[in-house]
Amino acid sequence: MKIVTAEQMREIDKRAAEEYDVPSLLLMENAGLETCRAAISMLSDLLGNSVLIVAGKGNNGGDGFAAARHLTDSGVAVTVALAADADEVKGDARANLEIVFRMGIRCLQVADAADIRELLASCDLVIDALLGTGVKGPVTGIAADIINAINESGNPVISIDLPSGVSADTGERAGPCVHATQTITLALPKIGLVTYPAAEHVGRLTVTDIGIPKALIDKSDLKLDLLTDEMIRERLPVRKADAHKGAFGHLGVFAGSVGMTGAASLTSEAAARVGAGMVTLGCPWSLNDILEVKLTEAMTVPLPETATRSISRDAVDAAASMLKRCNSVAIGPGLGRDPDTVRFVHALLSTLDLPAVIDADGLNALAEKPEVLKNLKSPAVITPHPGEMSRLIGTTSAAIQSDRLKAAAEAAARFGTVVVLKGARTVIAAPDGRAFISPTGNPGMASGGVGDVLTGAIGGFLAQGLSALDAAICGVYLHGLAGDLAAEDLAEAGLIASDLLPRLPPAIRGLRTGD
């Protein structure tokens, strides 16, 4: 599903009128009707019949005026609180406000916070039609007072298009924002609705059709998508009835050091759980016996090690020999930061001719010599969290978190790799400018080892022949979905990385069957 900026949405609205003769007044009418339907559904659950529509002077307010008419015709008691002088309302919004007046719907101009608090005290549901996609910077003045009053009232809220105060173009939360129970966004979701911290204000997100032709959206140059079940389902590898293990690829894994055998184990098991036919783990010599016990399905290869019991630069030849029977590689989880291990990473990647996923200490090693990443001979996926990304591109975690989409896109272009920027609403960015946001996952996944499971999942899909971008997309989405299944079964608090492993196959099955 495409995601848009405010400017992109305005351009699509304009082209709908100019190229398809879809009147803007019709789009506003449909927005009001869909909001009415959502409100009636919520009122039914609340056993209520009184709606306060808080409207501004722009088109967002116009959507609210249209909703007021439909709700009144449905028998709902409606009050419109107009946070502007009526003479300031222009265009399509003015046309709908005139209908409100002619229908005799109660419409009051709000002069201060006391006015809105009095109205809030006597309603069952609030419809937020105060501010739309044109918000720039923090909201101040009477609009800020109204937003604070709505939030303090405790009333359920439906926001039209996006919660007032939220920036359509970023996940930043610069000032007061409405805390919506449900957001009815029009035509396409906006970036601010699906990125944190602003996404905390959205409540249940509903994307509603307001009559913009699909053909127009399809031919618009939109490069950002919100991942959906359907998008993953169409990318999952096909498993033929007469297939054998060799048909599903062989992943080579280089992971683990003293104290970090769990990372190597989680990565290897996750690859098998997403369908890789075979997995071989290359690990430090002295840790091989431990990992032989921990891993049942994966094979292991003991490699020369450093004095700190991590993989040594001397292991490059043995690693290359191991990879002759593999068709993809995962490198980094728990490798350690011994200088000789860093040299192993540089040497291995400099000659690697297999698709790779690089994580954790693999990325930390590359931060010391980023030209190795730029000169990779095969497609690659890198999976940094904000700290690893900051070391890789020479900035701060705070700078990355302030605009995660921009950071991921710039890193993908700089290094020529697919970038998976981990975190709430993980971002996947491709070198060609395309980007994706995953809606799956939950706070319970903020736990040690969960990233190693992701590395194994992406590596497992690479082994099965998916492109670097598709492997990242499928791996991220299913990893989050497995985490959601685990949270549903166990609760978020106390969820651990190994809880995800047995839930990867059910997550895949659910996508295939639609359950």
Domains and CATH numbers, the chain: 6-222 (3.40.50.10260), 230-235+245-513 (3.40.1190.20)
Per mean pLDDT, which range of 132-136, 370-374, 425-429 is the poorest? Answer: 132-136
Side by side, which strands form the sheet with 204-208? 106-109, 77-82, 50-55, 125-129, 157-160, 182-186, 204-208
Q: With 90 as the cut, is the pLDDT of residue 41 above it?
A: yes
What amino acid occupies position 281?
L
Q: With 90 as the cut, is the pLDDT of residue 412 above it?
A: yes
**What confidence score (pLDDT) does residue 319 get?**
98
Q: Which two tokens stand for residue 401?
A: 């978190």
What amino acid occupies position 78?
V
Q: With 80 as the cut, is the pLDDT of residue 389 above it?
A: yes
Model confidence at 208, in pLDDT bands (50, 70, 90)? Answer: very high
**What confidence score (pLDDT) does residue 90 get?**
96
Model confidence at 111, in pLDDT bands (50, 70, 90)? Answer: confident
Model confidence at 172, in pLDDT bands (50, 70, 90)? Answer: confident
Give tens-digit pLDDT for 53-98.
Answer: 999 999 999 999 999 999 999 999 999 999 999 999 999 999 999 9
Q: With 90 as the cut, is the pLDDT of residue 307 above it?
A: yes
Give tens-digit pLDDT for 433-462.
Answer: 999 999 999 999 999 999 999 999 999 999
Mean pLDDT taken over the chain? 96
**What confidence score (pLDDT) does residue 68 get?**
98
Which residues make Cβ contacts (< 8 Å) with residue 318, sequence separation at least 6?
A: 282, 301, 303, 304
**What confidence score (pLDDT) does residue 486 get?**
98
**What confidence score (pLDDT) does residue 136 get?**
82
Residue 476's SS3 state is helix
Model confidence at 503, in pLDDT bands (50, 70, 90)? Answer: very high
Contact by Cβ (8 Å): 461, 471:
yes
**What confidence score (pLDDT) does residue 228 get?**
96
Side by side, which strands form the sheet with 418-421? 224-226, 435-437, 427-429, 418-421, 380-382, 356-358, 328-331, 250-254, 278-284, 299-303
CA–chain centroid gap for 229, Å, is 13
| Best CA proximity match to 192, nearest among 404, 430, 443 | 404
Q: What is the rounded average pLDDT of the residues 309-326?
A: 97
Proportion of the chain above pLDDT 70, given as a percent: 100
Proportion of the chain above pLDDT 90, given as a percent: 92
Q: With 90 as the cut, is the pLDDT of residue 201 above it?
A: yes
The pTM (predicted TM-score) of the whole model is 0.93
Long-range contacts of 407-415 (CB under 8 A, 24+ apart): 408/435, 409/433, 409/435, 411/382, 411/384, 414/374, 415/370, 415/373, 415/374, 415/382
Q: With 80 as the cut, is the pLDDT of residue 499 above it?
A: yes
Give tens-digit pLDDT for 28-40.
Answer: 999 999 999 999 9
**What confidence score (pLDDT) does residue 174 get?**
77
| Best CA proximity match to 255, nearest among 281, 279, 289, 274 | 281
Tell me the β-bridge partners of 305: 311
Model confidence at 407, in pLDDT bands (50, 70, 90)? Answer: very high
Length of the chain: 515
What is the DSSP code string of 270-290?
HHHHTT-SEEEEEEEGGGHHH
What does each C-alpha distance from 330 to 415, 420, 500 come to in angstroms?
18, 14, 19
Separation CA 270–CA 479 (nearest Å):
9
Q: With 90 as the cut, is the pLDDT of residue 113 above it?
A: no
Model confidence at 135, in pLDDT bands (50, 70, 90)? Answer: confident
Contact by Cβ (8 Å): 404, 424:
no
Model confidence at 112, in pLDDT bands (50, 70, 90)? Answer: confident
Which residues make Cβ contacts (< 8 Å) with residue 255, sequence separation at least 6?
A: 263, 264, 267, 268, 281, 283, 330, 331, 332, 333, 334, 335, 452
Model confidence at 137, in pLDDT bands (50, 70, 90)? Answer: confident
**What confidence score (pLDDT) does residue 57 get?**
96
Residue 182's SS3 state is strand
CA–chain centroid gap for 429, Å, is 11
